Homo-oligomer: A and B are copies of this chain.
Amino acid sequence: MLAVTILGNNSALPAFDRHPTAQVVTLDEFLFLVDCGEGTQMQMAKYKIRRSRIQHIFISHLHGDHYFGLIGLITSMGLLGRETALHLYAPAALEALIRLQLDVANTTLPYPLHFHALEDGPLLVGNDRFRINSFPVNHRIPCWGFRFEQVKAPRRLNPEKARAHAIPSSFYDRLKWGENYIGKTGEVIQNDWVTEPAPKGKVYAYSADTCYNEELAMHVAGADLLYHETTYLKDLADRAAMRFHCTTHQAAGIAQKAGVGRLLIGHFSSKYDRLDQFETEAREVFPNTSLAIEGVSYRV
């Protein structure tokens, strides 16, 4: 299972009850927090996402609307008596900042906090079923996007066929991972007689803040779902370029070039009170586009 839940869909200034960037990626039983603007812990409470389930947090860059809520979340986890380690994947400079904030409050966290610098390389964390990579994007300060990828899913077992070949249920797990079975008389039961291929692993890519940048299409190529920032409507391409942000048409153009399945757009400028025009414009270029709405989960 791969899904993303939007906690904040606005750009720098909170406005119209829209919040700065934060989202939760669900990958099977794991929750990953991506960016953490001011008020993220309140948004998590509002949408009933348990802080204790977060073990990995990814911060794309050090503009405040992407991390000012982090220190509050970290210290609240401590006040709640957390003991489980927390891993932070962020630009290296964040570590000194967090340490300083804990120091001036004379606070010692009751759990281990591990920093992983995004400058160290693209592979951030993974296991046998998924991997999470970063990729560089082009913003005013160093900034990274993230790619969540299911690398291996078990094959689908047909229990009736397995029973017909007298395979004991204790072997079912090994069947799901592709093994053949040798029967009592030495005959080989081919795996594909009793299983079907695993569904293709899903991919979710998060663009972070970026100017229009065709190289991005390479990093997010083939994603089933791409979240791409659209700070401005298409008539403000000049302003977008000046501020290293994107318009609706630019985001949708990247989605098209990258051949993604579906586009989710967010990071809306606070100059817009209504959002419907964002969807209309993006769909002119890439029809399978949705607005990122706070509190909504998008299944990949």
Query: Interface on A for B, CB 8 Å cutoff?
Result: 12-15, 19, 38-39, 41-42, 45, 62-64, 68-69, 71-72, 75-76, 79-80, 91, 93-94, 96-97, 100-101, 104-106, 140-141
Apart from A12-B76, A15-B45, A97-B101, 18 more pairs, CB < 8 Å: A12-B75, A13-B76, A13-B80, A14-B41, A14-B76, A38-B39, A39-B42, A62-B104, A64-B71, A64-B72, A64-B75, A64-B101, A68-B72, A93-B104, A94-B104, A97-B97, A97-B104, A104-B141
A105 and B64 in contact, given A12-B79, A13-B79, A80-B13 (Cβ under 8 angstroms): yes
CB-based nearest B residue for A92: B104
Q: 7 closest A-B pairs (Cβ-Cβ)?
A: A62-B104, A38-B72, A93-B104, A68-B72, A39-B39, A106-B141, A64-B75
Question: How distant is the Cα of A97 from the Cα of B19 in the complex, in angstroms?
Answer: 24
- How far in angstroms is the closest Cβ of chain B from A76? 5
Contact B106 A140 (CB under 8 A): yes
Question: How distant is the Cα of A80 from the Cα of B271 in the complex, in angstroms?
Answer: 11
Contact A41 B38 (CB under 8 A): yes
CB-based nearest B residue for A62: B104
Question: How distant is the Cα of A140 from the Cα of B45 in the complex, in angstroms?
Answer: 28
Question: How distant is the Cα of A42 from the Cα of B79 in the complex, in angstroms?
Answer: 23
Question: How distant is the Cα of A41 from the Cα of B38 in the complex, in angstroms?
Answer: 9
